[in-house]
Structure 1
Amino acid sequence: METSMTTQYHRRDLVRAFAAMAGTGLFPQLSRAADYPDRPIKFVVPFNAGGNVDGVGRLLAAAMGPLLGQPVVVDNKAGAGGSLGAAAVAQGPADGYTLLVGSNGPLTVNPFVQAKQNYDPLKDFVPIVLACVVPHVLLANKDLPAKTLKDLIALSKREAVSCASSGIGSSTHLTLERVNASTGGRLMHVPYRGGNSLVPDLLGGTIQTACMEFSTALQLHKSGKARILAVASPQRSPLAPDAPTFIESGVRDFTAYSFVGLLAPARTPEAAARKLIAAAQAALAAPGMEERLQALGVEPASAAMRAPAAFGAYLHDEYERSRETVRAAGIRAE
């Protein structure tokens, strides 16, 4: 499945990214390449079981194990918005046996909203594969008078309108800040602990709107319990064709995604990394995998975006976008 983001990364960008990655010396040679892997491999999911990151990580583990000839086990190591598990992988042995199932929080957001970081996401990891993305949406209580994004922004300028996110400094919080900055809106941020925890309050009318991942909002929208006012992707989703995009609602070039990808510690031996990359690419291209990912409510990454160099370039862009959003919003690292 080709995603619209593919066109953002031209061939020369991928070549530059690959050359830069190779020049860092992240891939010293593995002396006994033929022996790898000779024991089980661990995928660290830096969140609790359930949710997109865990679901995608388990799909990858199940598909890559047979290709690598060794079991791949999932280890949920939650804490500090994903930073605990990410730090454990970054500081662990770079031998190809412990990898990170990474996402926005620990890789592109936490460095700017957490005062203490024990790792550098751009220096301490090497990208293996981008598995999927999921756009963010603005979801409204079904009884809210505003039926469109334009109506919502106008309403927020006249009276207080609450908008929940999955937490202070979360990727959906940063998207909300970008919405306000791009539209002149005055949606008032209400942080929750995770995207699912805010749903009862949204349905009950305690909060009026929420910025969340499309996968969380989809069933609420389809059931009529809430309404998606705008999707932060270039085109409407075939899963919710009645939900307009931010772009067609008048917010120029506005896109925002969560992502899930696989990364290894820096200095992972080149031979091990190449085997992991080959297995990951084959697993994601296998018959039925696209459908299994879509069943989670995510968009499988295109073949071009799955490439390690493209994933690395995407990580860098998202990292810089978060830096600018946090600066513009005046969010302090805590």
Structure 2
Amino acid sequence: MTRRRDLILGSAAAAAAALCLPRLAAATDFPDHPIRLVVPFPPGGNLDFTARLLAPTMSRVLGQPIVVDNRAGAGGILGSEAVAHGRPDGYTLLVGSSGPLSLLPVTTPNLPFDPVRDFAPIGPAYRIPIVLLASRNLSANSLATFLELAKMRRGQLSAGSSGIGTGAHLAIELFNHGSGVQLLHVPYRGTGPAYSDLIAGTIDTLFDQLSNALPLHRDGRARILAVGSAERVPELPDVPTLREAGIVQPELSTTIGLLAPAGTPAAAVEALRAALAMALADGVVRERLESLGAEIATPDDVTPARYAALIQEELATSRAAVALPGVKLE
């Protein structure tokens, strides 16, 4: 995926192509009854928001209702397993994310599904980078000054995450390894308590998704010092990436996309992919996703092959992080 400034022409092309999509859906036997879109987390989070944002446009394109079904439990395992072992007919879909698809397969023994074997990717929707967010009580106001401070106070500065084995935890480990500093990992049970302690100055830094960190950065309650995306994000043009700083080379982002059970007919996958591409070209959908700091997939990237490649890339990053010396997952 490229950054948003490269998406304008692609979005226009997608919108033009979308005019043909209703005829495309009508030209096949799929779908002929409602589709279930499984969100493996409770209502209210980014995945639930995404499902309810995409479903109406996709439903109009496909000519059938899309019903959002929150199947929460076990960190996304229950809902993901339900789709992985569901009937491969295109009528049961998963809103996939990096947690169940590229983190849990590396950190959780005996996972009841395989992210590569058991799913048919439809296409990625967007990516949101992980960011390094610093307390306003910390004297550092840039990545460079933070690194200087962290090296002087090696082993004394703390970094919070939403829990052990999460993407944020592994980002901290990769940051420590690549920068030569030693931030003390403070795992929380979710992001809420972590943000409370960051704002209070109880912890020095926090690694989390850009969508959660942006409001605090904008109102001055905390400062984003670096982003984990491949390129700088438009919302923060002066904030460097971890890659350009030479700290972490893999992209540290959460990918959101749609998947069906493995073995779903190619015609159904293509109809769903085309509907997803049209939804992502919709102006209202784009505006809402961009408000999260999302890097929306270009029309050329909304493919099963691209999503499969992203899952493999993120699996490789997770494996590399877990293999670092001293990393503990319990």
Q: Establish whether TM, by shorter chain, passes 0.5.
A: yes
Q: CA–CA distance in 2 between the matches of 1:304 and 1:330?
A: 40
Q: In the alignment, which residue of structure 2 is the partner of 1:110?
A: 104
Q: In the alignment, which residue of structure 2 is the partner of 1:92?
A: 86
> Is 2:76–2:100's contact at 8 Å kept on the other side of the alignment?
yes
> Is 2:120–2:260's contact at 8 Å kept on the other side of the alignment?
yes
Deviation at 1:333, TM superposition (A): 5.9
Deviates more, 1:235-244 or 1:306-315: 235-244
Residues 1:287 and 2:291 are matched in the alignment:
no
Q: Structure 2: give runs of 5+ residues left out of the alignment.
A: 7-26
Q: In the alignment, which residue of structure 1 is the partner of 2:74?
A: 80
Deviation at 1:238, TM superposition (A): 2.0
Q: Sequence identity of aligned pairs in percent?
A: 48
CA RMSD across the alignment: 2.1
Aligned length: 307
Residues 1:119 and 2:117 are matched in the alignment:
no
Q: In the alignment, which residue of structure 1 is the partner of 2:241?
A: 245
Q: In the alignment, which residue of structure 2 is the partner of 1:273?
A: 269
Q: CA–CA distance in 2 between the matches of 1:88 and 1:252?
A: 35
Query: In the TM superposition, what whole-angstrom CA distance separates every residue of 1:160-217 from its partner, at most 9, and x where no partner exists?
Result: 1110111111111111111111111101111122234411111011111000111111
Deviates more, 1:229-238 or 1:209-218: 229-238
Q: CA–CA distance in 2 between the matches of 1:234 and 1:269?
A: 34
Query: Map of 1:1-334 to 2, 5 A cutoff?
Result: 2-3=2-3, 34-157=28-151, 158-159=153-154, 160-251=156-247, 253=249, 255-331=251-327
Q: CA–CA distance in 2 between the matches of 1:215 and 1:49?
A: 16
Residue type of the alignment partner of 1:230? A
Residue type of the alignment partner of 1:37? P
Q: CA–CA distance in 1 between the matches of 2:70 and 2:248?
A: 38
Q: CA–CA distance in 1 between the matches of 2:221 and 2:119?
A: 41
Q: CA–CA distance in 2 between the matches of 1:235 and 1:120?
A: 30
Deviates more, 1:211-220 or 1:44-53: 44-53
> Is 1:222–1:240's contact at 8 Å kept on the other side of the alignment?
no
Q: Secondary structure at the match of 1:201?
A: helix
Q: In the alignment, which residue of structure 2 is the partner of 1:27?
A: none
Deviation at 1:254, TM superposition (A): 5.5
Deviation at 1:316, TM superposition (A): 0.9
Length-normalised TM-score, structure 1: 0.86
Against the structure 1 CA distance between its residues 201 and 43, is the aligned structure 2 distance closer, same or farther, given a 3 Å change threshold?
same
> Is 2:40–2:78's contact at 8 Å kept on the other side of the alignment?
yes
Q: CA–CA distance in 2 between the matches of 1:122 and 1:105?
A: 14
Q: CA–CA distance in 1 between the matches of 2:74 and 2:181?
A: 30
Residue type of the alignment partner of 1:3? R
Q: CA–CA distance in 2 between the matches of 1:317 and 1:126?
A: 17
Residue type of the alignment partner of 1:163? A
Against the structure 1 CA distance between its residues 329 and 125, is the aligned structure 2 distance closer, same or farther, given a 3 Å change threshold?
farther
Q: CA–CA distance in 1 between the matches of 2:104 and 2:231?
A: 29
Length-normalised TM-score, structure 2: 0.87
